[in-house]
Amino acid sequence: MTYVKLQELIDAQFHHRCSTWERGNITNFVASDLMSDVLTVDDEDFVLVTSLTSDQVARTADIVGARAILLVNGKQPQNRLIELVGELNISLLSCKERMFKTCYILGRALSEEGISL
């Protein structure tokens, strides 16, 4: 899934685009508000879906090698988070939909692209 498609599907807004976002092909999402849990996931190159907006979201994404962060529930990032994802070269998006609906829409789109979850 491209970032353009993701943006259309859930009406997401970009706050930062990483240097390779146009070439990005999303094949996996990890959704959690517990960064501790995200740190135990062995997947790579995923988009982190969360409603947390602390700095630690960007740090965690960097540590586990996530490509992008998607904030749900209408959460808006603070300037600090935007600066930090800039430093770490991670894309940051937000959308108004709640976590479950976001995951449902994105999961369905991934299956349509032939990616099993």
The binding site for another protein (CB under 8 A) comprises 33-37, 39-40, 44, 50, 52, 54-57, 59-60, 62-65, 80, 88
Rounded to a whole number of angstroms, the minimum distance from the CB of residue 2 to another protein is 23
Nearer to another protein, 11 or 42 (CB): 42
Of 39 and 117, which CB lies nearer to another protein in the complex structure? 39
CB of 50 to another protein, least distance (A): 8
| Nearer residue to another protein within complex by CB, 34 or 115 | 34
Sheet strand arrangement including 47-50: 13-16, 91-94, 68-71, 47-50, 29-31
Burial class (CB in 10 A: 0-12, 13-18, 19+), 101: middle
Q: Which residues of 73-98 are buried (b: 16+ CB within 10 A; e: fewer)?
A: beeebeeebeebbeeeebbbbbbebe
Nearest approach, Cβ of 111 to another protein (angstroms)? 27
